[in-house]
Amino acid sequence: MATETARTLSDITFVALDLETTGLTPVVDRIVEIGAVRFRAGEVLDSFQELVDPEMPISPGATATNGITDDMVKGQPTIEKVLPRFIDFLGQDIPVAHHAPFDVGFLTYDISRLNLTPADRPVLDTCAIPKSLFPHAQGYSLEHLAAFLDIPAGVLHRALADAEACMGLFNRCVAEMGGPEKTTIEDILDLNGPPLSLCSGEIVLDEPFLPIKRALEKGDELEIRYQSAGGTVSIRKITPLSIGLFRGTAIIEAFCHLRKDKRNFRLDRILEIR
């Protein structure tokens, strides 16, 4: 690890990434666009951009921000098709995102429920890094920093344009630190703080929850006694569809026969499986 963090940035490849989503809440909301740009020492090497059919309506607030409508994503590939291609695109490179917890929250949930295995790399955050380098900035949103540092940006709030602006911001921070030939990953991590990772870990189902695993494998229905966040207990008949991790909590995506729609159930709120 010491050798890895001591490497200068001039020979390390990064991928700046950005997501557009149906709303602001991972697990509840879904990804509608992924954009990314691969670069090394300020040179663009490749890019990635795909719209995603979220199989749910996009909130009016999200459409007002990013301009992506339900009609634009209808019939596009679902995340089950797009995310494996994006993980392949990432490869062994180091991801960079602006306000990384947002993007990582959405990605790790889908990565875990789709059983994907990205490389274990730190995710750098261009919202955190500039705070020490540019303490007099009026704000640390991507828009504010791009304007403050005169970073060329396209139409922000679309995934590829935001990823390119994120790359520009990262390169500007590296230049402020002395350039890629004099800056190491360790230097960046000192400003970044504890980095996040796209590796969410394995979901282990204890003996009481093994019926969920069997139902996932066979497509069977289950009846569960479930406690909501407000404490209300109800009996639900569900058909589990997938299971993923979000901030260490296992989430079951299932078809709820009571609501006649997909719903998410926290594993730790399932009181009994019948």
Q: Is residue 202 part of a domain?
A: no
CATH code of the domain containing 51: 3.30.420.10
Contact 16, 97 (CB under 8 A): yes
Residue 49 and residue 162 in one domain: yes
Domain count, the chain: 2
Residue 188 and residue 229 in one domain: no
pTM, 2 dp? 0.88
Is 99 in the active site?
A: no
pLDDT digits (tens, 9 = 90+) for 201-218: 778 888 899 999 999 989
Residue 98 and residue 217 in one domain: no
Give the distance, in angstroms, between the CA of residue 48 and the centroid of all CA atoms in the same chain: 15
Q: CA-CA distance, 270 to 222, in Å (whole number)? A: 12
User: Which among 99, 144, 157, 257 is annotated as catalytic?
Assistant: 157
DSSP, res 24: S
User: In the listed set 149, 175, 197, which residue is the last one of a domain according to the structure?
Assistant: 197
Q: CA-CA distance, 45 to 49, in Å (whole number)? A: 14
Residue 167 and residue 65 in one domain: yes
pLDDT digits (tens, 9 = 90+) for 48-80: 999 999 999 999 999 999 999 999 999 999 999
Residue 189 and residue 96 in one domain: yes
pLDDT digits (tens, 9 = 90+) for 225-238: 999 999 999 999 99
Q: 18 burial class (0-12, 13-18, 19+ CB within 10 angstroms)?
A: buried
Contact 66, 158 (CB under 8 A): yes
Q: Is residue 18 part of a domain?
A: yes
User: In the listed set 165, 197, 229, which residue is the last one of a domain according to the structure?
Assistant: 197
pLDDT band at 221 (very low <50, low <70, confident <90, very high): very high
Q: CA-CA distance, 257 to 222, in Å (whole number)? A: 10
Does the pLDDT value for residue 1 go beyond 50? no
CATH code of the domain containing 261: 2.30.30
Residue 102 and residue 216 in one domain: no
pLDDT digits (tens, 9 = 90+) for 17-53: 999 999 999 999 999 999 999 999 999 999 999 999 9
What percent of the chain clears pLDDT 90, i.e. is strictly above it? Answer: 88
Does the pLDDT value for residue 3 go beyond 60? no
pLDDT band at 2 (very low <50, low <70, confident <90, very high): very low
Averaged pLDDT for residues 115-139:
96
Pull the structure tokens for residue 15: 């991928």
Report which of 123, 139, 126, 121 is spatially closest to residue 99, judged by C-alpha positions.
126
User: In the listed set 197, 230, 265, which residue is the last one of a domain according to the structure?
Assistant: 197
Secondary structure element (H or E) that encloses residue 148, with its range: helix 142-148
What is the domain range of residue 231?
207-273
Averaged pLDDT for residues 177-199:
95
Q: CA-CA distance, 4 to 121, in Å (whole number)? A: 11
Residue 211 and residue 90 in one domain: no
Q: Is residue 128 part of a domain?
A: yes
